[in-house]
Amino acid sequence: MVDVVVVGAGVVGLTCAARLQRDGVRVAVVTADEPAATVSRIAAAVWYPTRTEGDPRVLDWSRRTFEELVEQARRGVPGVVMRPTRMLLRGVDGLSPWWAAAVPDFRVTAAAGLPDGYAGEWRFTVPSVEMGPYLDWLLQQVTAAGGMLVRRRVTRLADVAELAPVVVNATGLAAGVLAGDEAVHPARGQIVLVGNPGLHVSVRDEENPAGMTYVHPRSRDVVLGGTFDRDVWDTTPDEATGRAILDRCVALVPELAGAPVLAHLVGLRPARHGGARVAVDAAVLPGGSTLVHNYGHGGAGVTLSWGCADEVVELCRGLVVN
């Protein structure tokens, strides 16, 4: 028997497992799919608290994750780099966002030199994560520290209670059913991958009236987005939506004109009304196992991952005897 079983092998689940192991906890990860097959695999994964509420708890999660990823970038962890970012603003207030306190070089600049329609911009440098190599690295960290990966489709969280005295529910969108949480819902995201013509800076225009627009360069390609369609379950890429994303992104960053299209992808962000749920459940699982939830991160899974994992560790202390 292990001390904790983590259900879910996306970035939230694997981060939880790795962080628990740092605390001396014996861990198993139960997942129906390999990490490379989870929705985390296609995330653009630039640190940014997308569609999250700015309460102190979320700011703390964001800050802790920022600091961890900065250190990982310094150490050369696969897929993690620091990325200069520009957020173009259409509003006139110029106020800093609630999360600016987590970003050391955040600054607001004036509209001088920007195209018509923009009132200014935010400039900042944040971690960017290429999820393929990063998920592989996370899994390697877990298994190298003695963690087990168990391929098993779970239909009830009670089904894994015999494996450990603590069960961490990091099942993302599936938590709607597994935890009986009606607040959980998909937020469909469609992206276009194109070849990288030499871009290094991420550029965002979240207030574009035609739709949210972002350009996130990576080592070999560029992630172009996007959409945030709540309660839409369809994972088939829409051709017209893809063309619209390309048009918006080329208008924002003209250097993308003519870049070869590599793929059209759709993922379902595991969103939750009320934000992420990181808490001990009052219900007791069979055999007396305690259930700890860590789900509902929406489009900010990477951004909140290490901070939420820190809180899971705190919740598990006292529940685990090692």
Q: How many Å apart are CA 68 and CA 102, to the nearest integer?
A: 12
**Distance separating alpha carbons of residues 272 and 184, to the nearest angstrom:** 4
Instruction: Taking residues 42-71, report their average pLDDT.
Output: 95
**Mean pLDDT calculated for residue range 96-105:** 96
Residue 320 has a pLDDT of 74
pLDDT of residue 114: 83
What is the percentage of the chain residues whose pLDDT exceeds 90?
86
pLDDT for the residue numbered 113: 79
For the residues 277-291, what does the mean pLDDT come to? Answer: 94
pLDDT: which is higher, 178 or 35: 178
- Is the model's pLDDT at 36 over the cut of 80? no
Q: What's the confidence (pLDDT) of residue 150?
A: 94
Q: How confident is the model at residue 307 (pLDDT cuts 50, 70, 90)?
A: very high
How far apart (Å, rounded) are the C-alpha atoms in residues 129 and 291?
30
Confidence of residue 148 (pLDDT cuts 50, 70, 90): very high
The predicted-structure confidence for 193-242, as pLDDT tens digits, reads as follows 999 999 999 999 999 999 999 999 999 999 999 999 999 999 999 999 99
User: pLDDT class for 297, splitting at 50, 70, 90?
Assistant: very high
Q: What is the pLDDT of residue 53?
A: 87
Instruction: Give the pLDDT of residue 38.
Output: 85
Least confident of 19-23, 127-131, 281-285: 281-285
pLDDT band at 92 (very low <50, low <70, confident <90, very high): low
Give the DSSP H or E segment for 67.
helix 56-75
* Segment 293-297 mean pLDDT: 98
Is the pLDDT assigned to residue 124 strictly greater than 60?
Answer: yes
Does 116 score more than 90 pLDDT? no
Provide CATH code, domain 4-91+128-316. Answer: 3.40.50.720
Q: ω into residue 226 within 30 of 0, thus cis?
A: yes
Which 3 state secondary structure label does DSSP give 178? helix
pLDDT at residue 94, as a whole number: 62
Whole-prediction pTM value? 0.95
Task: For the chain, list the strands marked E by DSSP.
Answer: 4-7, 27-31, 80-89, 107-109, 120-129, 148-151, 166-169, 184-195, 202-205, 213-217, 221-225, 229-230, 261-272, 277-284, 290-295
Tell me the percentage of the chain whose pLDDT exceeds 70: 98
Give the HSE-up count for residue 21: Cα atoms under 13 Å, Cβ half-sphere.
22
**Could you read off the pLDDT of 211-224 as tens digits, one per residue?**
999 999 999 999 99
Query: How big is the chain by its Cα radius of gyration, in Å?
Result: 20
Q: What is the mean pLDDT of the chain?
A: 95
- Alpha helices, H only, 125-182: 131-144, 175-178
Q: What are phi and psi of 151, to 5 degrees?
A: -85, 110
Domain range summary for the chain, segments of one domain joined by +? 4-91+128-316
Identify whether the C-beta of residue 10 lies closer than 8 Å to the C-beta of residue 35. Answer: yes
In sequence order, the β-bridge partners of residue 126 are 83
What's the pLDDT score for residue 195? 98
For residue 322, pLDDT beyond 60:
no
